[in-house]
Amino acid sequence: MTDESTPDVPEQGATAPDESMRLSKRMAALGICSRREADDYIERGWVRVDGVVVNILGSRVLPGQEITLDKPAQQAQANRVTILINKPVGFVSGQAERGYKPASVLVTLDNHWDGDLSGVRFHPQHLRGLAPAGRLDIDSVGMLVLTQDGRVAKTLIGEDSPVDKEYLVRVAGALSEEGLRLLNHGLELDGAALKPASVTWQNKDQLRFILREGKKRQIRRMCELVGLRVVGLKRIRIGNVRLGQLPPGKWRYLAANEHFD
């Protein structure tokens, strides 16, 4: 006899119908957290499906089932930080490579910008699990985001991310009206058409790019296709968050009232 008060949760770890999805993948798709964070929360017994604790990795859920986090998971998320760095030339975005240091080495108490208005106090715990949400070339400068929060990472680098990025790009060479039109829409990279962009002249030798995608060295390659050479590139905005007055080499916390989307 079935207890009708018990939610219909697929058996933990069992084979489920074709329309089901791994719980951790579903949590990431819903923007609740990253898959890595989801696995951690599931193992700790902090995840409920239709009110029932699910604590076995690999468990599957059906579309429409309600997924909630217990208070310990909510508190863990609230304690995660996101950091903005004004990256100088010569630092890589992620892991150290070819002898170059990662930008994360700049996140020290001495480099913390005194104009930070977030109210967050630096703690060494903030360095754990800090990862770049997007990249910025070694020879480019400006805003780089490092985060402990999988939700922020998904917002910025998820496949369907709606967040645009704004750059100031100093160029050398002559740009025709047709070239400018192609920069806005009509170019291909790696055999695929680029999404429409907004590219306008900022001054006589500097262009303003607003992109909604981030292929490797995309702006430099776009410029090469229309006969331009990039002399300098600076990212000044990601979504609703601007670099502002943050000095080169300094960093600050993302404030609670700041959101990229």
Active site residues: 137
CA distances from 257 to 38, 109, 160 (A): 25, 23, 23
* Residues 184, 192 contacting (CB under 8 angstroms): no
CA distances from 249 to 81, 112, 134, 237, 241 (A): 19, 9, 18, 16, 18
Beta-carbon contacts of residue 1 (< 8 Å; ≥ 6 apart): none
Beta-carbon contacts of residue 225 (< 8 Å; ≥ 6 apart): 182, 187
